[in-house]
Amino acid sequence: MAVRKVAVMGSGTWGTAACCLVSPHVDEVCLWARRESVASGINQDHRNPVHLPDLVLPRNVCATSSLSDALRDASDVVLAVPSAFVRTTMAGAAPHISAEVPLLVLTKGMESGTGMLMVDLVADVIGNPRRLAALSGPNHAEEVAQGKVSAAVIASLDPGIAEHFQQLFVSEAFRAYASSDLVGVEVCGAAKNVIAIAAGIAAGLGAGDNTLAALMTRGLAEMGRLSAARGGDPLTCMGLAGMGDLVVTCTSRHSRNRSFGEAFAAGESLADYESRTGMVVEGAQAALSLWEMAHAMGIEAPITDAVHDLLYEGAELADAIGSLLTRTPHVEFYGMGQPERPDND
């Protein structure tokens, strides 16, 4: 039997944790790290020296800083780099990935300027979109690495590809479900990070449980409108990629988007936060991309608008909050297949 090798691209927390999920099902997992020091540390100590350093990686996990070495003879590819680096990373990887190799995208987000979701972006670079899939859900890498029970949804245009990656990832502690709504899963994955920044800001300003619950629920409705506008199924927003991921990202101490929101409310800038933590705040990029999409398509996305204006327009916190609280409440689920709000509202 041929040796089955999986290449995991990206040595952040999620890519590192993904190696542990995949390793029991294959002969070899090769983790691509941008920095040679990270790859060397993994090979020497079986630990990632930067992310999840307490996690001992399985013996069949190795690392390299060479894309060609990581991808050579790989039967499957798992992509886990930050959204801002997906296009350049895949451009470098494209010559080393054959047209039929299945690829699973763990990155959540939307490309600014093009409005492309991550699977669309990958397909734009390497072609053959039917061999691509996206995994999303309430999965903090820290807890996945500890073997705590988690669940995710894997979506693909090809049901066979979704099932293929289900088998690669599923275990007693990691429940993987399949979906055909690739657009809905990806929109939810991008939008929930924006709502989590808003939740962190609200918490940082002393908001109570009622406020946070209202913000999350209206955020869920906003996610539904954005998804429906792109052709996704609004019901997806009620599942693992939507409500599940939204709850954990808005409430968990592991959430960089929530914690950034709290830090922002205390006066720390995005650049300072990312420099201090060494982590990319995906919701900041998503706020720009989703804001562009919403305005181009005429979709009401007031929470996204507020976060965008705070991060990119220098809006004052009081003004952003006022823009939300002075809106007239309408039909709860307008824009998601429900009756539209009256014209005179």
97 with 121, same domain: the answer is yes
Radius of gyration of the chain (CA): 20
**pLDDT (average), residues 91-97:** 97
Structural contact between residues 141 and 122, judged by C-beta atoms closer than 8 angstroms: no
Report the number of distinct structural domains present in the chain: 2
In a domain, 335, yes or no: no
* pTM, full prediction: 0.90
**pLDDT (average), residues 51-71:** 97
DSSP β-bridge partners for residue 63: 31
In a domain, 343, yes or no: no
**pLDDT (average), residues 157-177:** 96
Q: Could you tell me the CATH number of the domain that includes residue 173?
A: 3.40.50.720
Q: What is the pLDDT of residue 180?
A: 96
In a domain, 240, yes or no: yes
Structural contact between residues 204 and 264, judged by C-beta atoms closer than 8 angstroms: yes
In a domain, 68, yes or no: yes
Packing angle, helices 282-297 and 302-312, rounded to 10: 120
Per-residue pLDDT reduced to its tens digit, 203-242: 999 999 999 999 999 999 999 999 999 999 988 999 999 9
38 with 85, same domain: the answer is yes
Per-residue pLDDT reduced to its tens digit, 111-123: 988 999 999 999 9
What's the DSSP call for residue 184?
H
Q: Per the residue annotation, which of 5, 108, 148, 192 is the catalytic one? A: 192
Q: What is the pLDDT of residue 333?
A: 67
In a domain, 272, yes or no: yes
Q: Where are the beta strands (DSSP E) in 220-330?
A: none
Helix (H) or strand (E) holding 87: helix 86-93
Q: Could you tell me the CATH number of the domain that includes residue 295?
A: 1.10.1040.10
Vertex 148 angle, CA 27 and 48, to 5°: 55
Q: How confident is the model at residue 280 (pLDDT cuts 50, 70, 90)?
A: confident
What's the DSSP call for residue 13?
H
3-state secondary structure of 179: strand
What's the DSSP call for residue 84?
G
165 with 139, same domain: the answer is yes
157 with 232, same domain: the answer is no
In a domain, 286, yes or no: yes
The pair of three-digit structure tokens given for residue 260, joined into one six-digit string? 């950034």
Active site residue 192: yes
Q: What is the pLDDT of residue 335?
A: 64
197 with 315, same domain: the answer is yes
In a domain, 330, yes or no: no
| The domain boundary residue, chosen from 148, 180, 212 | 180
- Residue 72: which residues within 8 A CB-CB, separation 6 or more? 96
Q: Where are the beta strands (DSSP E) in 24-81?
A: 28-32, 61-64, 76-79
Can you give the residue range of the structural domain that contains 60?
Answer: 5-180
Structural contact between residues 192 and 223, judged by C-beta atoms closer than 8 angstroms: yes
Rounded distance between C-alpha atoms, residue 124 and residue 119, angstroms: 8
Q: What is the pLDDT of residue 127?
A: 94
